[in-house]
Structure formats: C-alpha cells, structure tokens
Amino acid sequence: MLSRTADSLYWVSRYVERAEYLARILDATTRLTNLPTTYGGAGTEWQSAVLTAGCEEAFAKAYGEANERNVCDFLTFNPDNPSSIRNCLAQARSNARAVRTALTSEMWDALNGAWLELQRFEKKRMDREEFARFLDWVKNVSLVFDGSAYRTMLRDDGYWFSRLGVYLERADNTARILDVKYHVLLPANEQVGGSLDYFQWTTVLREVSALTAYHWVYREAVKPILVADLLVLNRRMPRSLAACYESISRFLDSLGDAYGRQGPAQRQARKTLANLSNTRIDDVFVHGLHEFIEEFITENNRLGNTIFEQYLQ
C-alpha cells in the first residue's frame, strides 16, 4: 500500500486514541479536585493534568495559572493547542479524508459524525454536568471508532498500521500517567508509597479504566507497587505497557510475514517486549520507577521513528 495511506491510517488511530486519553485525564482530574484536601487534594492536580497531557510548554505560553477553567479550555477546544481534543479529532478526520477509501464507511462515519457533533459542543457554554457528558462523548467516539475498525476492516496491512497507531499511542499515554503521578502528585514531604496518596493512585487507575480490574487481580487495597505492576507488566491488563507491546509486536510480525521481510522495527519491538517480560516490579522500584518509565518513553518514541523510516516515508 502507499506509504502515505499507511501513515494516515496510523495517525488517524493515534489521534483518536489521544483524544480519548485527554478526556480520561480531564475526567479523573475533575474527580480528584472534588475531594477535600485532607483526602489527597494537593492543589497541583490541574498542573499535573497539563503535564500528563505532555503539553506544559504550550500551556505556559498561552495561560498563566493552571486552574480548572484554563486547563479544561486548553485541553478541549483550544485551536492553538496542537493536541487539544478538538485538534486531535480534526487531525484524525483530515487524515481519514485524505485516504477515505482505505477506511470502511463505518470508520469514516464515526469520525465524520464526531467532527460535526464536536462543533455543536464547541458552541455551547458548558457547566460541569454538561462537561462531564462531553468527556463521556469523546470516550464514546473512540470506542465507536475502535469498534468499527475491529469489526469492519480487512485484516491486512491497513489494519495492522492502524492498530500500531493505537498501541504506540496507548503505551505512551499509560507511561506518562505513571510518570507524572510518581513525581508531581506527591507532596514534597510525603514518602513515595505513603498512605496519603491513596486517592491519587485510585485516580490513576480510573484514568485507565482499571480500578475494578485492580481489585480482581490483586484483591488488596490500592498500593503503588501493585498499581505499577498492573500498568507496566500485567499482560492481562489491556492498557499495560506489556499488553501494548504484545500487540505491537504481533502486528509488526503480521506485517513482516505479509511482506516477507523483517526489519529493525520488528527487532526493536521484540526486544522491548522481552524486557518487559523479564522484569519484576520489585526490580523496577529498586532502580527507580521514574528512570524506568523515562527510558520506556524514549524507546517507544524510537520505535515510532523506526516504523516511520521502515514503512511510512
């Protein structure tokens, strides 16, 4: 297939995934800030939401203070923020339009419908309730798009590139949530893993829809080390880094088999997957979660570049 087509399919999925992620961050942050400070509200939640979204520089330029209004505005409809929800959906649709015939009509309808609907939300003044509905709607768009792709796309290279976009983005998002939580949410005088940040860790689990899963898997109160275990190493947890890499590696192998040629992307993905499989969470904490995550994010970006060089340019 055309490299540009593959590239667009890949980015359509990445942008939709990113839009959903932003909605999840905003949803969880709103909940967290509603708590009385004694239960974990540290006053830095909105700043942390910006950090988790990975756009602190752009935000600092556009606004001064990280409060609810500024951050929500910046991450949802701000046209100047390249990764606001609005711009993610716009980018997804624009990429989709350029390769319209490579998508199924269900996928296109999901995106095009979302784009038209988004403009209705954009014009409204939203109260908190309305805003919550909007965030649910964004998550829903992603579910519908993802489901359409899963149910209607031919299982060939187009599908695999589209999936690679989903999982690379998801891995990056999960890693960022963990990293920001680890460093920023924690008040300076609190020891990492202390009891006060219980609600904050719960929030992390909420951000990745894993609160129930956590209880099923560990049957314990929420503990940082177990949250990290779930989100980094547990392959049963669909947003964990290990699960993402299992998928990435599988789809890259499908590409390699179909094209009759393996390349650096396949080798790199397998190496990262092997690392995740051979690591115990205790070792991660001994060497430092932050260092581990930082290295992972770098590797994940590197894989993105490798895929680009190998297939998409």
Partner 1 sequence: MVAFDEMSGSGAELRPAYEALDRWLKEAPPEMLALRRSQAELFFRRIGITFAVYGDEESTERLIPFDIIPRVLTKPEWTKLEAGLRQRVTALNMFLADVYGPKECLKAGIIPPDLVYRNACYQLEMVDFKVPHDIYCHIAGIDVVRVDADTFYVLEDNARTPSGVSYMMENREVMLRLFPELFSTHRVAPVDNYPDQLLATLRSVAPRSASSDPTICLLTPGQYNSAFYEHSFLADKLGVELVEGSDLLVKDDVVYMRTTQGPKRVDVIYRRIDDDFIDPLAFRSDSVLGVPGIIGAYKAGNVTLANAVGTGVADDKAVYSYMPEIVKFFTGEEPILKNVPTYRCREPEANAYVLDNLEKLVVKEVNGSGGYGMLVGPHANKAQIETFRRKLKASPEGFIAQPTLALSTCPTFVASGVAPRHVDLRPYVLSGANGISCVPGGLTRVALKEGSLVVNSSQGGGTKDTWVLDA
Stretch of residues binding partner 1 (CB under 8 A), selected from 54-62, 68-76, 95-103, 297-305:
95-103
Packing angle of the helix pair 289-307, 157-180 (nearest 10 deg): 160
> For 38, how many CA atoms within 13 A lie in the half-sphere containing its CB?
0
Nearer to partner 1, 39 or 259 (CB): 259
Pairwise CA distance, residues 211 & 227, whole Å? 9
97 binds partner 1 (CB under 8 A): yes
Taking the complex as a whole, the smallest distance from the CB of residue 144 to partner 1 amounts, in Å, to 17
Taking the complex as a whole, the smallest distance from the CB of residue 127 to partner 1 amounts, in Å, to 25
311 binds partner 1 (CB under 8 A): yes
**Angle value at C-alpha 80, between 126 and 116, nearest 5 degrees:** 55
Identify the DSSP state of 191.
P
6, 58, 233, 243: residue in contact with partner 1 (rule CB under 8 A):
6
Instruction: Please report, as residue ranges, which positions from 139 to 168 form the binding site for partner 1 (by CB under 8 A).
Output: 157, 161
Note whether 89 and 118 are within 8 A (CB): yes
Identify the DSSP state of 311.
I
Stretch of residues binding partner 1 (CB under 8 A), selected from 2-10, 60-68, 202-210, 278-286:
2-10
Q: Binding marks (x or -) toward partner 1, 255..274, rule CB under 8 A?
A: x---x-x-------------
Stretch of residues binding partner 1 (CB under 8 A), selected from 101-109, 123-131, 142-150, 243-251:
101-109
252 binds partner 1 (CB under 8 A): no
CB-CB neighbours of 77 under 10 Å: 18
131 binds partner 1 (CB under 8 A): no
Alpha helices in 99-156 (DSSP H): 105-123, 128-152
108, 131, 134, 145: residue in contact with partner 1 (rule CB under 8 A):
108
Nearer to partner 1, 86 or 176 (CB): 86
Taking the complex as a whole, the smallest distance from the CB of residue 122 to partner 1 amounts, in Å, to 9
Task: Retrieve residue 278's tokens.
Answer: 């051979």
Interface size with partner 1, residues (CB under 8 A): 24
Burial state string for 258-282 with b = 16 or more CB within 10 A and e = fewer than 16: eeeeebebbebbbebbebbeeeebe
**SS3 call for 236:** coil
67, 69, 100, 302: residue in contact with partner 1 (rule CB under 8 A):
100
Pairwise CA distance, residues 112 & 108, whole Å? 6
Q: Residue 52, exposed/middle/buried by CB under 10 A (0-12, 13-18, 19+)?
A: buried
Stretch of residues binding partner 1 (CB under 8 A), selected from 56-64, 111-119, 140-148, 172-180:
111-119
CB-CB neighbours of 212 under 10 Å: 9
For partner 1, the binding residues (CB under 8 A) are 1-6, 94, 97-98, 100-101, 105, 108, 112, 116, 119, 157, 161, 255, 259, 261, 311-313
